[in-house]
Amino acid sequence: MSSLLIQRGIHTFEQAKKFFRPSLDDLHDPFLLKDMDIAVSRIEKAIANNENILIYGDYDVDGTTAVSLVSSYLKTITNKSLLTYLIGIMKGTESQPKELILQLIIIFRLL
């Protein structure tokens, strides 16, 4: 464990404590991500217009976590239908994400 911490530049007890027990103050501003403002505006518009929302992510730890967190939160603020999809579960879906998303949108609009 100590070699992992050192590889991450963590050399003191206080740094390790902050690594293992982070607070909300330790998080980066999500609006530093490219186009976050556009994404938030679009979600707000979808909620205001009572539109369906498709939450799409890849099938790895951060993808499944992100889809789970976003969908869980949105379920608390909207009654509109939410669809979640994780790419990469079925072999071959990784190479055609644009076409897959378009198919999901068409299917979801029919629900």
97's tokens: 């994400």
Q: Please state whether the predicted TM-score (pTM) of the whole model is above 0.85.
A: no
Cα dihedral 40, 44, 50, 51 in deg (nearest 10) = -20
Distance between CA atoms of residues 99 and 105, nearest Å: 10
pLDDT of the residue at 91: 59
pLDDT of the residue at 58: 80
pLDDT of the residue at 52: 85
pLDDT of the residue at 66: 92
Residues in the chain: 111
User: In this structure, what are the phi and psi dihedrals at residue 94, rounded to the nearest 5 degrees?
Assistant: -65, -30
pLDDT of the residue at 94: 55
If the chain, 111 residues long, is cut into consecutive pieces of 10 residues, what is the mean pLDDT of each piece?
90 92 89 94 91 84 91 88 75 64 74 56
pLDDT of the residue at 93: 52
pLDDT of the residue at 29: 93
74 contact partners, CB below 8 Å, separation of at least 6: 43, 47, 53, 55, 82
First to last CA, the chain: 48
41's tokens: 């505006």
